[in-house]
Amino acid sequence: MKKDEVPQDPSALVGVTRDVCYVKDANGKYTTDLSIGWDVKKQALDNAWEDINERVTEAALLVKKGEKSPIYYFMELKLMDLPVLAGYTGFWQFTIKRHFKPSVFKNLNEKQLLSYAKAFDITVDELKEFNG
């Protein structure tokens, strides 16, 4: 990539930082330049977020319908997956999957709920009371 080809498409980086690009200067030597974003990757990131938001909406709906527990919703909301949530709570992944069931969730003790609340950075009440 040449220095004058560095894309400058405004993206989420604006106002925070700029992206270092390795480019060729007019003499064909490597140098660096700063970019405020590139449309191609901005669209990829936007799509990823659109997908996240859809997953969160879908998760809320499943909680509302009584098919999933709030743990499932907050996992999606906090961009987690089973390995990450297992890391934060110390529970096995299959245990967490069981806790996705509203019937199992209902019987979790305070200590278990607190582990999840801490992982999601919310209070136990916020976790328990979420109903979609």
Partner 1 sequence: MDNIIIPYNHIQTAHCENGVASGLLQHHGLKFMTEPLMFGLGSGIFYIHIPFLKVNNGPAISYRSMPGWIFSRASKLLDIKVKRTKFNSEKEAVDFLNNQLKLGNPVGCQVGVFNLPYFPTEYRFHFNAHNLVVFGKEDGNYLVSDPVMETTTLLSEADMLKVRFAKGPLAPKGHIYYPQNVKEVSKEQIQRAIKIATKSSAFDMLNIPGSICGVDGIKYTAKQIRKWRDKLGPKKAGLYLGQIVRMQEEIGTGGGGFRFLYAAFLEQAHSYIPNDELLTLSDEFTKIGDLWRASAINMGRIYKGRLNDQKDYDLCASMLEEISDLEKRAFQKLKKIKLG
Q: Which stretches of the chain bind partner 1, using CB under 8 A?
A: 1, 12-13, 16-24, 29-30, 32, 34, 38-41, 43-45, 47-49, 51, 55, 79-81, 83-88, 119
* Nearer of residues 102 and 112 to partner 1, judged by Cβ: 112
* Nearer of residues 66 and 81 to partner 1, judged by Cβ: 81
**Smallest separation, CB 70 to partner 1 (Å):** 19
Distance CA 42, CA 49 (A): 11
**Smallest separation, CB 94 to partner 1 (Å):** 17
Q: Describe the crossing of helices 110-120 and 70-77 by its angle, rounded to 10 degrees.
A: 20
**Smallest separation, CB 56 to partner 1 (Å):** 13
* Nearer of residues 47 and 57 to partner 1, judged by Cβ: 47
Distance CA 25, CA 28 (A): 5
Distance CA 46, CA 44 (A): 6
* Nearer of residues 121 and 125 to partner 1, judged by Cβ: 121
Residue 109 identity: N
* Nearer of residues 38 and 130 to partner 1, judged by Cβ: 38
**Full DSSP string of 48-108:** HHHHHHHHHHHHHHHHHTTSS-HHHHHHHHTT--HHHHHHHH---HHHHHHHTSHHHHTT-
**Smallest separation, CB 103 to partner 1 (Å):** 27
**Smallest separation, CB 61 to partner 1 (Å):** 18
